[in-house]
A and B are shown apart, each in its own frame.
Chain A
Amino acid sequence: MALVSDAPAAGQKTERIARSPFSEFRRRFVTRLGALAAGFFLLVMLLVALAAPWILPFGPDEFDYKNTLSAPSAIHWAGTDEFGRDIFARILNGAKLSMFIGFVSVTIGAVIGVIAGLLAGYYGGWLDSIVMRVADVLFAFPGILLAIGIVAILGAGLTNVIIAVAVFSVPAFARIVRSGTLGLKETTYVEAARAAGASNVIIMFRHILPGGLGAVIVYFTMRIGTSILTATSLSFIGLGVEPSIAEWGAMLSTGREYMLAGKWHLTFFPGLAIFLTVLCFNILGDGLRDALDPKLDDN
């Protein structure tokens, strides 16, 4: 939040003089109750997932051969799988994993993209041309296809999935930051900083970057949802994490055969978890965007 509070001041004119940019932001954000609810849901899910080992009676990898494929009940809220493992515990483990993959991969993509976009926008010239052409090429490929290609080369596994998902986040961040930088580097305060003798690095990171951060935060939020979707898709088609790991996509993949035999809970609950998580990230991102950019407010 601290990052957000000083971000909206730059890059847009606040016409209502009485309100500070932050109170303006807060007013808009609070009106987006949906976004608040989505953020709250994600927070609760993360906390419960982290606390799961202490509050749940079952671990995600505990076998129970007397209780295989049992339907949801008061003891096993989402039923058990073919090895008698508690599906609810596995879903919570999957939540931890998916949040981790989403957050880490988008952070890697954002850091690389932001630096590339900042350099391209600030220095211009051949550097700009190269960065933007590479971004265009990466952008042109459908994300999942690119990710499949990368995993096909590097092999499956957690680290490679993170790399594959990170790569296709880079170009969008580069574009957003570049276009922000182009506008901000002409502003008076950047000129003043330069006149005061600030180095290029200080100008870029201290004076220009905060101005473009609002758009980056919005995109960051939405991207986590997309990245979780891609990572679970990769696991579903067998190119993600080990199939035995309690991960949402992998659970759906192994659950398919049992679903055909009438055991719906093996696929229903993990899928619901992916859907709700991605939905909440998208709603939160929409809300943040509306709150940070009054121009888009069309209500």
Chain B
Amino acid sequence: MLQYFLRRLAALVPVLFLISIFVFLFIHALPGDPARLLAGESATQEEVEAIRKALNLDRPLFAQYVDFLKNLATGNLGISLRTGEPVATMIGRAFMPTFWLSVCALAWSVVFGLVAGVVSAVRRGSAGDHAGMFLAVSGISMPNFWLGLLLMQFFSVHLGWLGTSGFDEPSDLILPSITLGAGVAAVMARFTRSAVIDVAREDFIRTARAKGLRERIVIWKHALRNALIPVVTMAGLQFGFLLGGSIVVEKVFRWPGLGSLLLDAINFRDYAVVQAEIMLFSLQFLLINLAVDMLYGFINPAIRYK
């Protein structure tokens, strides 16, 4: 198991290398001149050139890429063109707000989706099942930025219970994580429901019932455990979806996280930050996929990696 894990971890290196080339080339294909942007509208040509030189933007593309890799390997992510701060510091500051937001969103939505899905599967065809599944389709169709604004309108503007922007106290997490998790909860509920219905048709479920186990044990222990493998895959994929969704939700709630940082950087053509952020998002995404693969082994002892 450990060996398998290490081998998979090593396999990420060439993938990241490839992504780094793409990111680097694409970023440099961006229209707009960062040196000119930084110098300001009124700067002379000499001033622009001086800034270009100071930031090494005048060197050949390949040399800039080698620098980029060298710095990446030593953990030096460069200096932000916009604020003059080290990129690592900016990302370090933005990381925890996004981390808490994603974790809270994933936690409630997976638990809620799982329970709703199983209950729906057990009461298949009932009014509650239909209502639940209609709610799930609605959740999938709901633009998360609208949901965020609706919640904000009701709880912050109308009732005045919660804040509308920023992350100053733990209660600020409530609305953004509900917003971010809603779509995931809906997908999880739908997916769990069909996975449980599939498993319930299997012979071993009939056997479990035939030997007189209580229905609750049959469903929650025998059926759910076997339905869990596709469900875990889905949860992993959804975590990736959360990373993307968090960018939009952070914009709604003016959240001081990685998403807001990325959008600011894109608007300002802040190369160093965009590069570092895309690498970080890719790395997170690859690690999550790896974690999902490792989880299989724990859930289903029949799958053990050599």
Contacts and interface: CB of A to CB of B under 8 A. Distances in A.
Interface string B107-137: 0000000000000000011000000000001
Contacts of B30: 152-153
B5 interface: no
A278 B141 contact: yes
Contact of B251 (A236, A262, A268): A236
B150 interface: yes
Interface stretch (A42-50, A79-87, A135-143): A135-143
B197 interface: yes
A238 B289 CA distance: 30
Nearest to A285: B137
Majority secondary structure of chain B interface residues (helix, strand, loop or mixed) = helix
A271 B143 contact: yes
Contacts, number: 110
Contacts of B244: 142-145, 148
A256 B149 contact: yes
A144 B278 contact: no
B149 A238 contact: no
Nearest to B239: A142
B248 A271 contact: no
B152 A259 contact: yes
Contact of A140 (B137, B140, B149, B285): B285
Nearest to A222: B140
Interface in B28-53: 29-31
A163 to B, nearest CB: 14
A282 B135 CA distance: 12
A36 B60 CA distance: 60
B102 interface: no
A252 B157 contact: no
B247 A279 contact: no
Interface string A111-122: 000000000000
Contact of B263 (A149, A238, A262): A238
B65 interface: no
A227 interface: no
A236 B145 contact: yes
Interface in B231-259: 240-241, 243-245, 247-248, 251-252
Interface in A164-218: none
A149 B243 CA distance: 13
B149 A259 contact: yes
A267 B248 contact: no
Contacts of B143: 229, 232-233, 236, 249, 252, 271, 274-275, 278
Given A237-B247, A283-B137, A260 B157 contact: yes
Contacts of A153: 26-27, 29-30
Contacts of A264: 153, 157
A271 B125 contact: no
A223 B157 CA distance: 35
Contacts of A225: 141
Nearest to A149: B278
A241 interface: no
Contacts of B95: none
A286 interface: yes
B164 interface: yes
B142 interface: yes
B146 A274 contact: yes
A149 B145 contact: no
A232 B245 CA distance: 13
A209 to B, nearest CB: 29
Nearest to A152: B266
Interface in B254-306: 262-263, 266-267, 274, 278, 281, 285, 289
B89 interface: no
A73 interface: no
A239 interface: yes
Interface in B131-189: 137-138, 140-146, 149-150, 152-153, 156-157, 164
A286 B133 CA distance: 12
Contacts of A275: 138, 141-143, 146
Nearest to A34: B134
Contacts of A297: none
A262 B153 CA distance: 8
A252 B240 CA distance: 25
14 contacts: A140-B289, A142-B244, A144-B248, A153-B30, A225-B141, A233-B144, A256-B149, A260-B164, A271-B143, A272-B146, A274-B146, A279-B138, A282-B137, A286-B137
Interface of A: 140-145, 148-149, 152-153, 155, 225, 229, 232-233, 236-239, 249, 252, 255-256, 259-260, 262, 264, 267-268, 271-272, 274-275, 278-279, 281-283, 286, 298-299
In order of increasing CB-CB distance, the 3 nearest A-B pairs are A271-B146, A142-B244, A279-B141
